[in-house]
């Protein structure tokens, strides 16, 4: 009987102890979240960048500051499960369909026609833009002959490198002499094999079109991307002077994107014509197995890292470069109810001089509607490459601070949070922020000590694009910089 009562008392005591334990720990957690921070540092990081985060933690701890500073590393909750070799471009987590087992042919005709439709004659050169997703071999130039009876005039098909407008190669189609090989309604002429690397942006142009040698506008003008080897840019490119790169772009009239004119035959550089599709599939599956093993290992390491430091913020996106604006928007959503004066944004390959920034903020009179950084003014919108912008319609961006380091006051974060459902994400987190904040009246504080490039000057607040060795040097040996 006494044993029974004793056991009941022990159980009751244990339950009471657990209740107080959880209340105490919950109050500690709430206290940590509600603790007043002068500055919260938001650091864009990748899931696998364990060493960078370790260096930054240690480097910031070594620096002298009178401010209460908090740190959050911003990571995508979901890893990209597509190997780099199998992605369409390296900046997105999108898989190419190329090299799947059902692909048994490896030479592709970029454009061909099934039936005639409306004929048209452009006022000058006309062409289409394409992007190389996997290294290809360019074999033959082609030109549409809708009557199948040869050309009446002199026509030319040209290949340009789009960003530089540089002429690469061409073939001339004459009304006499060797006509080339017919493939459907297209005539092809061979050229010495030309290798186009992954990431190449090309424009294929036809010149010399007339009433006698017209083009066809029709949805029956079919395009082939080789199962993802290349991608086409919607719209078409045109000009008014032959021999000159056609610089005008029309992406509104989608129907003209389906026109039969210039064409080319290409194949995969990595896949010979007699390749075995099953073997290619085995190699591809092996790459996927390897990346899945790496992802599982990283997940275990991230769990341990979070348990030790509790400074990782996993936001609801797939990890990739093009998702950085969304990562920052979700960070501001997390941040809005925290107790802070300023937020400092940076990346995990950047050096941050907390000592210098602390001195600067202590002497700053502005506390509201303030954005501090090194601002780019009248910065041209990039149409190609890493910072390719396809959504923003202007030719230049509004002022925006370089992403290596900038500071926002609390009230701006609140405005972003309140309007988050109406804010569109563009190609970069820095230009996206500039576009968002162009809608309100704020104080821009220009300070070149937030560097836009790594020029290794002293007296800096932030510096980008550092490898691990450089970060060790800056944080370990030179963390105390001159302060003006």
CATH code of residue 169? 2.60.120
Domain check: are 141 and 261 in the same one? yes
Domain check: are 339 and 235 in the same one? no
- Mean pLDDT on 192-209: 89
Rounded to whole angstroms, what are the CA distances from 352 to 74, 232, 313? Answer: 16, 41, 19
Share of the chain above pLDDT 90, in %: 45
Q: How many domains does the chain have?
A: 2
Token code pair at residue 140: 């033959």
Q: Is the pLDDT of residue 434 over 50?
A: yes
Domain boundary among 268, 291, 314: 268
* Within-domain flag for 115: yes
Report the distance separating Cα 394 and Cα 162, nearest Å. 20
Domain check: are 340 and 454 in the same one? yes
Domain check: are 341 and 449 in the same one? yes
Domain check: are 258 and 378 in the same one? no
Domain check: are 235 and 148 in the same one? yes
* Within-domain flag for 404: yes
Domain check: are 245 and 340 in the same one? no
Whether the CB-CB separation of 400 and 379 falls below 8 Å is answered with yes
Confidence class for position 257, pLDDT limits 50, 70, 90: low
pTM of the model: 0.70
Domain boundary among 268, 289, 318: 268
Residue 178: domain span: 107-268
pLDDT at 279 (0 to 100): 72
* Within-domain flag for 391: yes
pLDDT at 174 (0 to 100): 86
Domain boundary among 268, 297, 317: 268
- pLDDT tens per residue across span 446-469: 999 999 988 766 789 999 999 998
Whether the CB-CB separation of 435 and 392 falls below 8 Å is answered with yes
Three-state DSSP at 77 gives strand
Confidence class for position 347, pLDDT limits 50, 70, 90: very high
Strand-strand pairing, 201-207 and 69-78: unpaired
Cβ burial of 251 (10 Å; 0-12, 13-18, 19+) is middle
Domain check: are 239 and 384 in the same one? no
- pLDDT tens per residue across span 34-92: 677 889 999 999 999 999 999 999 999 888 888 899 999 999 999 999 998 888 777 88
pLDDT at 102 (0 to 100): 36
Share of the chain above pLDDT 70, in %: 80
Pick the most confident of 106-115, 266-275, 410-419: 410-419
* Within-domain flag for 293: no
pLDDT at 179 (0 to 100): 64
What lies within 8 Å, CB to CB, of 463 at 6+ separation is 350, 351, 404, 451, 454, 456, 474
Q: Which residues pair with 137 in a beta bridge?
A: 195, 267
* Within-domain flag for 377: yes
Mean residue pLDDT of the chain comes to 82
Domain check: are 122 and 217 in the same one? yes
């Amino acid at each position: 009987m006494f044993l029974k009562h004793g056991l009941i008392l022990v159980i009751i005591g244990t339950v009471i102890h657990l209740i107080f334990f959880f209340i105490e720990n919950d109050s500690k957690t709430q206290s940590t979240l509600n603790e007043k921070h002068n500055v919260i540092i938001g650091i864009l990081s990748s899931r696998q960048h364990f060493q960078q985060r370790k260096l930054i933690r240690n480097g910031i701890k070594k620096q002298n500051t009178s401010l209460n500073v908090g740190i959050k590393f911003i990571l995508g909750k979901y890893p990209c499960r597509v190997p780099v070799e199998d992605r369409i471009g390296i900046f997105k987590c999108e898989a190419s369909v190329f090299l799947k087992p059902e692909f048994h042919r490896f030479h592709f005709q970029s454009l061909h026609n099934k039936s005639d439709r409306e004929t048209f004659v452009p006022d000058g050169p006309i062409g289409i833009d394409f992007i190389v997703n996997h290294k290809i071999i360019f074999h033959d130039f082609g030109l549409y002959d809708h009557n199948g009876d040869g050309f009446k005039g002199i026509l030319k098909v040209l290949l340009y490198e789009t960003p530089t407008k540089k002429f690469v190669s061409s073939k001339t189609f004459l009304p006499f002499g060797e006509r080339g090989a017919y493939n459907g309604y297209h005539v092809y002429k061979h050229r010495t094999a030309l290798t186009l690397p992954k990431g190449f942006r090309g424009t294929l142009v036809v010149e010399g079109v007339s009433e006698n040698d017209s083009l066809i506008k029709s949805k029956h003008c079919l395009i082939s991307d080789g199962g993802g080897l290349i991608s086409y840019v919607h719209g078409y490119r045109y000009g008014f002077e032959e021999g000159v790169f056609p610089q005008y772009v029309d992406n509104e009239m989608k129907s003209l994107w389906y026109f039969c004119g210039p064409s080319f035959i290409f194949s995969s550089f990595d896949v010979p014509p007699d390749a075995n599709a099953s073997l290619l599939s085995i190699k591809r599956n092996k790459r996927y197995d390897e990346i899945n093993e790496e992802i599982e290992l990283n997940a275990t390491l991230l769990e341990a890292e979070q348990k030790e430091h509790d400074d990782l913020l996993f936001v609801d996106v797939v990890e990739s470069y093009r998702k950085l604006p969304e990562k920052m928007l979700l960070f501001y959503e997390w941040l809005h109810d925290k107790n802070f004066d300023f937020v400092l944004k940076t990346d995990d390959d950047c050096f941050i001089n907390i000592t210098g920034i602390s001195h600067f903020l202590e002497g700053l009179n502005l506390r509201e509607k303030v954005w501090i950084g090194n601002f780019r003014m009248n910065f041209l919108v990039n149409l190609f490459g890493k910072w390719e912008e396809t959504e923003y319609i202007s030719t230049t961006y509004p002022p925006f601070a370089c992403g290596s380091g900038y500071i926002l006051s609390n009230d701006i974060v609140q405005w972003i949070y309140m309007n988050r459902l109406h804010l569109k994400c563009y190609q970069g987190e820095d230009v996206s922020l500039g576009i968002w904040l162009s809608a309100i009246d704020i104080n821009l504080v220009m300070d070149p000590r937030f560097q836009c490039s790594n020029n290794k000057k002293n007296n800096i607040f932030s510096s980008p694009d550092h490898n691990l060795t450089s970060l060790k040097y800056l944080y370990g040996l030179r963390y105390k910089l001159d302060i003006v």
